[in-house]
Amino acid sequence: MTPINKCIRENSTELNPIWLMRQAGRYLPEFREIRSKNKDFIKLCLNENLSSEITLQPIKRFNFDAAIIFSDILMVPYGFGQSVKFEKNFGPKLGSISLDAILNFDEEKFTNKLKPVYNLISKLRDEEITNGKDVIGFVGAPWTILVYVVNKISPKKNLREDFFNDKVLINRLLLVITKFIKIHIKNQVQAGASIIQVFDSWAGLLKEDIEKFIFKPTHEIVEFTKGLNTPIICFPRGIKNYTEFCKIVKPDMVNIDYDVDPIQIVKDLRIPIQGGLDPKVLLTDKHNLRKNVLKYLNIFNDHPYVFNLGHGILPQTEISMVEELVKIVRDFK
Ligand code: CP3
């Protein structure tokens, strides 16, 4: 069984599997090299040869236990017909789209638009280097995708004031977005993804109605994925109460952010846990890195745990620090 599947399905504490969120990204010179020649980010994601090469770059360098596909959570809105662009030093910019346009968007057309993503997964499965490793597919959670679809740019710290003005529209959007997210999960599993991770990057923005916008739709996705006999990891970044989240949403594993106290969470949760280390620790020195990594490894020593970060790895991160991190985790007994 692949390492993360073993951790989840057998509650194994033997291995200390490791992978990093955003492991294929700008801190790698070999990624920047490809990226500089491919200005259109969506096109790059839809180029199976390049996206598989990018996915495998960190595996070749660091021998991580899992390959997360090189793609983006905004491929779902792209798939149902909303325009998505990434601007340098600004982030994503989405175009306007009506509810009716999404409601009328054909499921088969969605799958066809995103075919290269599914082909990428099959291609990764065929590579020898992924033998014995997990191939992680992913989606954005309904709430986070809703935020991008309506807000059209990253909300940074605040939502547009008029976000909830049209409640009927918001509710219907949430339903149709959830439908397309499920199709995207099913297609990734059919192509060979051995785990699905759900990124709810803006979970922390919501002050009320968490039940309606986060718990309920995410639980629906969790149940759907379990029905496909595939483990599902949730990352509700910034949510105040991880314990309540896990009780209601019931993911197979939860990724904690760096604000979560690991000592408390290990007492509160019975399910496998992933992540936690502040990515900024990788910007300090090796001594401090060791101290912080050992803290997490010791706290989770008797708990099914996958080593990861509390958010994506930062572009300024030095390669030698990632090498050191992997060494510390591998040497830990
Ligand atoms: O983890 C991985 O290595 C897999 C690939 C991956 C990407 N995006 C590639 C990417 C994953 C899992 C994502 C998820 C994603 N995308 C999230 C959830 C996680 C999080 O960071 O909160 C979100 C919110 C997005 C949307 C998104 N994509 C934003 C806001 C940006 C611009 C900001 C930035 O970091 O540049 C992206 C672009 C993006 N997606 C890049 C990569 C490697 C950077 C592209 C580049 O400029 O070279």
Mutation probe of ligand 1 site: the residue of 28, 53, 72, 74 with most atoms within 8 A of C-beta: 72
Judge if the beta carbon of residue 70 lies within 6 A of ligand 1.
Answer: yes
Q: Which residue has the tokens 């605040």?
A: 158
pLDDT at residue number 103: 98
Judge if the beta carbon of residue 82 lies within 6 A of ligand 1.
Answer: no
Digit-coded pLDDT (tens) for 32-44: 999 999 999 999 9
Return the biggest CA–CA distance within the chain: 56
Instruction: Please give the Cα distance from 136 to 24 (Å, whole number).
Output: 13
Q: By three-state DSSP, how is residue 116 classified?
A: helix
Digit-coded pLDDT (tens) for 319-328: 999 999 999 9
Digit-coded pLDDT (tens) for 82-99: 999 999 888 999 999 999
Q: Looking at per-residue confidence, does 193 or 163 come out higher?
A: 193
Could you give the angle at the alpha carbon of 8 between the alpha carbons of 211 and 265, nearest 5°? Answer: 55
pTM above 0.85, yes or no: yes
Judge if the beta carbon of residue 187 lies within 6 A of ligand 1.
Answer: no
Judge if the beta carbon of residue 72 lies within 6 A of ligand 1.
Answer: yes
Judge if the beta carbon of residue 45 lies within 6 A of ligand 1.
Answer: no
Q: How confident is the model at residue 141 (pLDDT cuts 50, 70, 90)?
A: very high
Residues 118/172, Cβ–Cβ less than 8 Å = no
Digit-coded pLDDT (tens) for 50-80: 999 999 999 999 999 999 999 999 999 999 9
Instruction: Please give the Cα distance from 38 to 22 (Å, whole number).
Output: 18
Q: How confident is the model at residue 160 (pLDDT cuts 50, 70, 90)?
A: confident
Between the CA of 10 and the centroid of ligand 1 the distance, in Å, is 31
The answer for residues whose C-beta is within 8 angstroms of residue 310's C-beta and 6 or more apart is 256, 257, 258, 259, 260, 275, 276, 277, 278, 279
Say whether pLDDT at 207 is over 90.
no
Instruction: Please give the Cα distance from 308 to 254 (Å, whole number).
Output: 11
Say whether pLDDT at 22 is over 90.
yes
Please report the atom of ligand 1 found closest to the CA of residue 41: 45
Q: Amino acid identity of 331?
A: D
Burial group, residue 20, by CB count within 10 angstroms (0-12, 13-18, 19+): buried
